[in-house]
Amino acid sequence: MVGLGPKPPFPRKGTGTLDNLPKDLRNEIEHLERLFTVDGAKLKEVTNHFVHELEKGLSVQGGSIPMNPTWVMSFPDGNETGTYLALDMGGTNLRVCQVTLTETKSEFDIIQSKYRMPEELKTGDAEELWEYIADCLMQFIETHHGDPTKLDALPLGFTFSYPATQNYIDEGILQRWTKGFDIAGVEGHNVVPMFEAALQRRGVPIKLTALINDTTGTLIASAYTDPKMRIGCIFGTGCNAAYMENCGSIPKLAHMNLPPDMPMAINCEWGAFDNEHKVLPRTPYDVIIDKDSPRPGQQSFEKMVAGLYLGEIFRLVLVDLHDNQEIKIFPGQDIAKLRKAYSLDSSFLSLIEEDPFENLSETFELFQTKLGLTPTGPELELIRRTAELIGTRAARLSACGVAAISKKKGYKQCHVGADGSVFNKYPNFKARGAQALREILDWPEKADPKEDDPIEILAAEDGSGVGAALIAALTMQRIKQGNMHGILHPENFRTTEPLPA
């Protein structure tokens, strides 16, 4: 017979009772709770400081948060058309897309190829990186456009998701690598000529029309289909946001005499928030992450909330509790695998938080298969609670950034487009973030649970594909209308028409 057999236990919600735990473990859990819990009052304090730092970043003197003007100077209205190439160099994959913005309002077609970004390239040689990217582009063009020697140069939007100074939309001076990248000879330089030189060497028929941050792409792509969009966020391997400012509120651009009400998308690079360690509730584990990273002292906020670091924070807690002679979890077991830095990514935490079983049997299996460890029942409880604490802290602190931009701009009601692995895949991230926004912004309880929140963080449209295409289209449009601000190579745009669909 089919379908008989032991019934699975009831699905588990949240932490089970900790009452039956041995006292030392219970104490330890309470200690971790004190370290990782960020209450409503602290969220407000962080948000207020955040608002101040956003403003400082726009000032002439500047601050930790770069607040980079992007020369994306309007929202789309849904009527943009044309076919564009887009390249996305994210933290994990490389993606090449061809995006067609169709005649039907707010609709698009997309074809794309994904390539894994080999791990060794992230800390290797600059030339190898650009050559690898050029090869991927060439492969895509050969597949979709035929013989490259017979083609005119195709226009491309390059989504380069690292902090870059943009005096022009077709320029990007890398401020610093983030997300574990560490390639010599690129920081402080404009990446566009390096990229173009590799294309030339390989004979890839492409000209770059715009360099784009993934957050700006997300903002613009989401606004294409939803006019209430005001902020674009990435909660993924890294963490950041972009929003539309008016030039009159950007003192560091005052020398350019731009009309004060002219819009300008700002790539905040908020991962650098609180590099001075004034307000974020850092734990000893956050201090270690920073110290051992390729760029100590940088990206303080990002290192507490982004996907690249969540698994590592968790790993450091467990190693500490094993080495700690008073508690000593996993006594007598070989924790060699757990000792390997960055061996657990945020999907490992997701699996723990998703374990539906009362006895945490999936977590048990995960530890056996992945780490060769056999946790006891109480240890499993500690593991689950630790994952929840780290995931909850990330969601709540992330909400401070959204609240800060909303406060700065006076947005009482709007939509925020969000993308990235943590936002899309980490269990409860959205609900925890929404709850934190409620606490920070003092929203009253909902009369009806189905009611929308005043500020809602929603899944975004594809920023690095559709967003890049839209930015290329908007830039061509504004050049035609005579707005030439922030364009280094207008000739690339003048002679460029969108590809035939």
The answer to the question of residue 163 lying near ligand BGC (CB under 6 A) is yes
Among 234, 349, 457, 466, contact with ligand BGC (rule: CB under 6 A):
234
Name residues contacting ligand BGC, limited to 142-161 (CB under 6 A). 161
Nearer to ligand BGC (CB atom), residue 373 or residue 471 = 471
The gap from C-alpha 436 to its chain's centroid, in whole angstroms, comes to 19
Output the six-digit token pair for 273. 């928030």
Output the six-digit token pair for 328. 């000593």
Closest contact distance (angstroms) between CB of 161 and ligand BGC is 4
Span from 235-243, 248-256, 279-287, 346-354 in contact with ligand BGC (CB under 6 A): 235-243
SS3 118: coil
Q: How many other C-beta atoms lie within 10 A of the C-beta of residue 241?
A: 29
The answer to the question of residue 312 lying near ligand BGC (CB under 6 A) is no
Nearer to ligand BGC (CB atom), residue 106 or residue 112 = 112
**What does the DSSP assignment read for 370-431?**
HH-----HHHHHHHHHHHHHHHHHHHHHHHHHHHHHHHHHT-SSEEEEEESHHHHHSTTHHH
The answer to the question of residue 269 lying near ligand BGC (CB under 6 A) is yes
The answer to the question of residue 178 lying near ligand BGC (CB under 6 A) is yes
The answer to the question of residue 293 lying near ligand BGC (CB under 6 A) is no
Nearer to ligand BGC (CB atom), residue 242 or residue 366 = 242
214 part of the active site:
yes
Torsion, Cα of 219, 222, 227, 230 (10° steps): -30
343 part of the active site:
no
**What does the DSSP assignment read for 235-278?**
ESSSEEEEEEEEGGG-GGGGGG---TT-EEEEE--GGGTTTT-S
176 part of the active site:
yes
The answer to the question of residue 384 lying near ligand BGC (CB under 6 A) is no
Q: Give residue number: closest CB to ligand BGC.
A: 238
How would you write 315-353 as a 3-class SS string? Answer: HHHHHHHHHCCCCCCCCCCCCCCCCCCCCCCHHHHHHHH
Among 232, 238, 433, 465, contact with ligand BGC (rule: CB under 6 A):
238
Closest contact distance (angstroms) between CB of 467 and ligand BGC is 12
Span from 211-219, 352-360, 461-469, 470-478 in contact with ligand BGC (CB under 6 A): 211-219
Q: Rounded to whole angstroms, what are the CA distances from 123 to 88, 275, 299, 306?
A: 18, 23, 18, 20
Whether the Cβ atoms of residue 273 and residue 500 lie closer than 8 Å to each other: no
Active-site residue identified among 88, 214, 290, 462? 214
Span from 234-242, 377-385, 396-404, 483-491 in contact with ligand BGC (CB under 6 A): 234-242
Nearer to ligand BGC (CB atom), residue 236 or residue 375 = 236
Nearer to ligand BGC (CB atom), residue 68 or residue 475 = 68
The answer to the question of residue 346 lying near ligand BGC (CB under 6 A) is no
The answer to the question of residue 214 lying near ligand BGC (CB under 6 A) is yes
Q: Look at residues 433, 357, 448 and name the one whose alpha carbon lies nearest to residue 401.
A: 433
The answer to the question of residue 89 lying near ligand BGC (CB under 6 A) is no
Active-site residue identified among 74, 95, 170, 176? 176
Active-site residue identified among 64, 161, 300, 464? 161
The answer to the question of residue 290 lying near ligand BGC (CB under 6 A) is no
Residue 93 to residue 159: CA distance in whole angstroms: 12
Output the six-digit token pair for 300. 């303080």
Triad 120, 423, 443: Cα angle to 5°: 150
The answer to the question of residue 271 lying near ligand BGC (CB under 6 A) is yes
SS3 232: strand
Among 74, 83, 213, 275, contact with ligand BGC (rule: CB under 6 A):
213
Span from 6-14, 22-30, 212-220, 252-260 in contact with ligand BGC (CB under 6 A): 212-220
Among 302, 345, 355, 462, contact with ligand BGC (rule: CB under 6 A):
302
The answer to the question of residue 66 lying near ligand BGC (CB under 6 A) is no
Closest contact distance (angstroms) between CB of 146 and ligand BGC is 33
SS3 95: strand
CA dihedral sign of residues 181, 185, 188, 190: negative
Residue 229 to residue 469: CA distance in whole angstroms: 18
Q: How many other C-beta atoms lie within 10 A of the C-beta of residue 408?
A: 17
The gap from C-alpha 265 to its chain's centroid, in whole angstroms, comes to 17
SS3 105: coil
The answer to the question of residue 236 lying near ligand BGC (CB under 6 A) is yes
The answer to the question of residue 172 lying near ligand BGC (CB under 6 A) is no
The answer to the question of residue 215 lying near ligand BGC (CB under 6 A) is yes
Q: Residues with catalytic annotation?
A: 161, 176, 214
Interface with ligand BGC (CB under 6 A): 161-163, 178-179, 213-215, 234, 236, 238-240, 269, 271, 302
